[in-house]
Structure 1
Amino acid sequence: MISFFQANGAELILKIWQHIYLSFISLGLGIIVAVPIAIGLTRAKKIAGFVIGLASVLQTVPSMALLALMIPIFGIGSLPAIVALFIYSLLPILRNTYIGLNNVDPSVLDAAKGIGMSNMQSIIQVELKLAAPVIMAGIRLSATFVIAWATLASYIGAGGLGDFIFNGLNLYRSDLILAGSVPVILLALITDYILGKIEYVLTPKSIRV
């Protein structure tokens, strides 16, 4: 084990950083895009089913096929991987945000209007706060997916821990497979824990479990 880290420690740190970069840029873009769209869909429910259905269809595209489709458009490297992972991150966040906002008690919304809140104030100060647990559940699920799927980015030259995993498979070396797999699992667990703490902070005290 010590000899492995002496030989591969610097490369492992680099691959972990690449994996974090790919995953969190993709997840961040997913949040920035999906949450506002979901808010808009709660105000335009006639098209909500179509938009969420479209996101569901995109999620059913096999990971390798989607990555391959990115190559003619964006080439190889980090950019096509980020775009593909961003697409995969959308559905859980979009769906949960839409469901969470739709489940806010209408009497609370009426009360917000009654005290003179504008539509935007109601969204920011009331609806998003009350829907925070459901929204964060979608973000946590999406984060786990993205971190796991980021291993496939290795196939299009984006780096990450997938390099260790697939090199290990090609060379029949279990140490390389473990060096790639264990950090991915730890990253997913740590990220979920941190997002769980953020969820607790964002959730109003009155509805905390």
Structure 2
Amino acid sequence: MLDFIGSRFDQILFSGWQHFSLVVQCLVLATLLAVAVAAAVYRNNTLTSIANSVSAIGLTIPSFALIGLMIAPIGFGVTPAVIVVTFFATLPVLRNAVVGLSGVAPSVVESARGIGMSRFRTLVQVELPLAWPIILNGIRVSAQMVMGIAAVAAYSLGPGLGSFIFSGLSRIGGANSLESVWTGVLGIVFLALILDFLLVGLGRLTTPRGIRV
């Protein structure tokens, strides 16, 4: 195992960086999309219910099947990987964003409106900061989930450590096949731990001191 890693260290490092970069960029895009949708629907019970249903049903879609469906119209490469990872990353964040914004006390919103703040300013300066810890929990869950889904995206020749897993599985029983699989799996676990650590630090830096748990 150590010989395998040592002989391919540069390749593993580059694939690991691609994997991490793919997940982080998709996570940022997913967070922006999820918060925008949540901000548009959370005041309406019907739309909130629809958003929650979409986020729940979306998670039941097999990621491998969705990758396969993306290949036909889009082709192989980075694009289907980005679409699938962003789609799955959006779902937990959307649910938590709706819950977080809906949970802000109406009295707080009314007080902000009472001192002359516009609806948009109240959302940005009052409601989103108060909902941020819950949204961040959704981001952390999403990050761990899509770290594995990004590996599945290697089926469409997407970037990342998933290539080691598929390469090893395609020649199982051959030389270095298990080492290749284990390298991909352990690398993804390691990246997931790093990303979660960074998100915890982000939470400490961005959560207002008065509402920290």
**What is the TM-score normalised by the length of structure 2?**
0.92
The aligned counterpart of 2:28 is 28
The aligned counterpart of 1:98 is 98
- Which of 181-190 and 54-63 deviates more? 54-63
Cα displacement (A) at 1:56 = 2.3
Percent of aligned pairs with the same amino acid = 37
Cα displacement (A) at 1:9 = 1.2
One-letter amino acid of the structure 2 residue matched with residue 52 of structure 1: N
Residue number among 197, 200, 206 corresponding to 2:204 in the alignment: 200
One-letter amino acid of the structure 2 residue matched with residue 174 of structure 1: L
2:158 counterpart SS class: coil
Rounded to whole Å, the distance in 2 between the matches of 1:143 and 1:2 is: 28
The aligned counterpart of 1:178 is 182
One-letter amino acid of the structure 1 residue matched with residue 9 of structure 2: G
The aligned counterpart of 1:61 is 61
One-letter amino acid of the structure 2 residue matched with residue 206 of structure 1: G
Rounded to whole Å, the distance in 1 between the matches of 2:159 and 2:30 is: 21
Rounded to whole Å, the distance in 2 between the matches of 1:45 and 1:133 is: 22
The aligned counterpart of 1:187 is 191
Q: Which runs of 5+ in 2 are unaligned?
A: none
Rounded to whole Å, the distance in 1 between the matches of 2:55 and 2:73 is: 20
| Alignment check: 8 A CA contact 2:81 2:158 kept | yes
The aligned counterpart of 2:148 is 148
- Which of 144-153 and 159-168 deviates more? 159-168
Rounded to whole Å, the distance in 1 between the matches of 2:6 and 2:210 is: 52
- Which of 5-14 and 33-42 deviates more? 5-14
Deviations 1:57-111 (A, max 9, x none): 2221111111011111211111001101111111110010010011111111111
| Alignment check: 8 A CA contact 1:100 1:134 kept | yes
The aligned counterpart of 2:78 is 78
Cα displacement (A) at 1:186 = 1.1
Count of aligned pairs: 209
**What is the TM-score normalised by the length of structure 1?**
0.94
1:188 counterpart SS class: helix
Coordinate RMSD, CA, aligned: 1.5
